[in-house]
């Protein structure tokens, strides 16, 4: 993997993204075969944002691979109590890898620059690669292949959207992103994803009509309308986003076999109704479980011993 880090799916080749998904499926199917893969290895987990899925899946994953994870909460004071570079240099002397869940994307890139050990982006305001890997692993499980599959993302053009676009581009898929005007994914990210898409035949579309976006797709995806750090905007966003709610009427426009995905936590009956979230098309719990398997694959590839040729 590029520079032995996972910062963004954009950094990886198409083959490497598929390799992660293939290994994740193998690890999920045969967990005991990998129980000592990271024996005596230690992962430092840095958190600026609260977490359920990220903390539990990384910590559980390290344990199941024979290693150990250390939870470092907000009191570490990234960039406040101590500079990010100094924290990175210290951690690099003690541990075998770092996972960071931060606000600024630069915090993760700085950790990668100075730590001297693999760094995994557990979420930043710009991207969420581990989530996208779990999402595409889930879709792959449901349909058996990914190339040519269609996914619609409806809602705010946020960090999850960015990583979904990069993933779709690397995997040769079609992704349609429908957002209100002014809430589109970052233009530079769209440009980068479309550049990636040229190599695989993928298609990236940005639009405003959610019904056009979901027409005939294999998967429908949404996320909260106001992400962590945007709480002050929640009231205003609640007036703008209702037309983008994923409900049974919107889901009816997708293919009959379509699945529904959400990275969670969900704000029930805001961006998605209970009927959809708990309905037969929902794969949100499979998706949440697959965070564990996808991240185990990433940690094996980054922190495991290289196999001799």
Instruction: From the candidates 101, 162, 176, 237, give the one annotated as an active-site residue.
Output: 101
Q: Is the bond leading into 265 cis (omega within 30 degrees of zero)?
A: yes
Contact between residue 137 and residue 293 where contact means Cβ atoms under 8 Å apart: yes
Residue 140 annotated as catalytic: no
Distance CA 237, CA 185 (A): 16
Beta strands in the chain (DSSP E): 42-47, 68-72, 97-101, 119-123, 150-154, 174-178, 203-207, 219-222, 259-262
Cβ-based neighbours of 101, under 8 Å, separated by 6 or more: 45, 46, 47, 48, 49, 51, 54, 122, 123, 124
Instruction: From the candidates 10, 128, 176, 237, give the one annotated as an active-site residue.
Output: 128
Residue 101 annotated as catalytic: yes
For the sheet containing 119-123, what is the strand order? 68-72, 42-47, 97-101, 119-123
Residue 53 annotated as catalytic: no
Look at the alpha carbons of 245, 247, 253, 256 in this order and tell me if their dihedral is positive or negative.
positive
Distance CA 114, CA 289 (A): 32
Phi-psi region of 202 (alpha: psi -120 to 50; beta: other; left: phi over 0): beta
Q: Which of 216, 221, 190, 185 lies closest to 203, judged by CA?
A: 190
Query: How many Cα atoms are found within 13 Å in the side-chain-facing hemisphere of 31?
Result: 13
Q: What pTM was estimated for this model as a whole?
A: 0.96
The residue ranges of the chain whose pLDDT is under 70 are: 1-3, 306-309
CATH code that applies to domain 2-128+289-303: 3.40.50.1370
Residue 130 annotated as catalytic: no
Contact between residue 38 and residue 303 where contact means Cβ atoms under 8 Å apart: yes
Instruction: From the candidates 64, 223, 262, 270, give the one annotated as an active-site residue.
Output: 223
Distance CA 259, CA 149 (A): 12
Residue 15 annotated as catalytic: no
Instruction: From the candidates 263, 270, 293, 295, give the one annotated as an active-site residue.
Output: 263
Instruction: From the candidates 18, 55, 125, 131, give the one annotated as an active-site residue.
Output: 131
Measured in degrees and rounded to the nearest 5, phi and psi for residue 151 equal -130, 140
CATH for the 131-287 domain, from 3.40.50.970, 3.40.50.360, 3.40.640.10, 3.40.50.1370: 3.40.50.1370
DSSP string, 62-125: HHHTT-EEEEE-GGG-BTTTB-HHHHHHHHHHH-SEEEEE-SSHHHHHHHHHHHSS-EEEEE-S
All CATH 3.40.50.1370 domain ranges of the chain, comma separated, are: 2-128+289-303, 131-287
Q: Which of 74, 79, 65, 114 lies closest to 93, judged by CA?
A: 114
Residue 5 annotated as catalytic: no
């Amino acid at each position: 993997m590029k520079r032995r880090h996972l910062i963004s799916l954009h950094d990886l080749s198409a083959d490497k993204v598929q390799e992660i998904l293939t290994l994740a499926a193998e690890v999920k199917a045969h967990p005991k075969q990998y129980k000592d893969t990271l024996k005596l290895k230690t992962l430092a987990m840095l958190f600026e944002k609260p977490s359920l899925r990220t903390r539990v899946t990384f910590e559980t994953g390290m344990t199941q691979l024979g290693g150990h994870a250390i939870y470092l909460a907000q009191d570490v004071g990234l960039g406040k109590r101590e500079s990010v570079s100094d924290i990175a240099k210290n951690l690099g002397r003690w541990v075998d890898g770092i996972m960071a869940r931060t606000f600024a994307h630069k915090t993760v890139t700085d950790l990668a620059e100075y730590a001297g050990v693999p760094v995994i982006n557990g979420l930043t305001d710009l991207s969420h690669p581990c989530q996208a890997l779990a999402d595409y692993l889930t879709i792959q499980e449901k349909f058996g292949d990914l190339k040519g599959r269609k996914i619609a993302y409806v809602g705010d053009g946020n960090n999850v959207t960015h990583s979904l676009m990069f993933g779709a581009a690397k995997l040769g898929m079609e992704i349609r992103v429908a957002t209100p005007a002014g809430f589109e994914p970052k233009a530079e990210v769209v440009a980068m994803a479309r550049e990636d898409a040229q190599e695989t035949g993928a298609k990236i579309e940005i639009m405003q009509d959610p019904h056009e976006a979901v027409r005939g797709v294999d998967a429908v995806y949404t996320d909260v309308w106001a992400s962590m750090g945007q709480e002050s905007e929640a009231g205003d966003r609640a007036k703008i986003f209702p037309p983008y709610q994923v409900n049974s009427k919107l889901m009816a426009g997708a293919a009959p076999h379509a699945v529904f995905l959400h990275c969670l936590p969900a704000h029930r009956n805001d961006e998605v109704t209970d009927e959809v979230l708990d309905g037969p098309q929902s794969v949100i719990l499979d998706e949440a479980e697959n965070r564990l398997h996808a991240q185990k694959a990433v940690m094996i590839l980054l922190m495991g011993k290289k196999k001799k040729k």
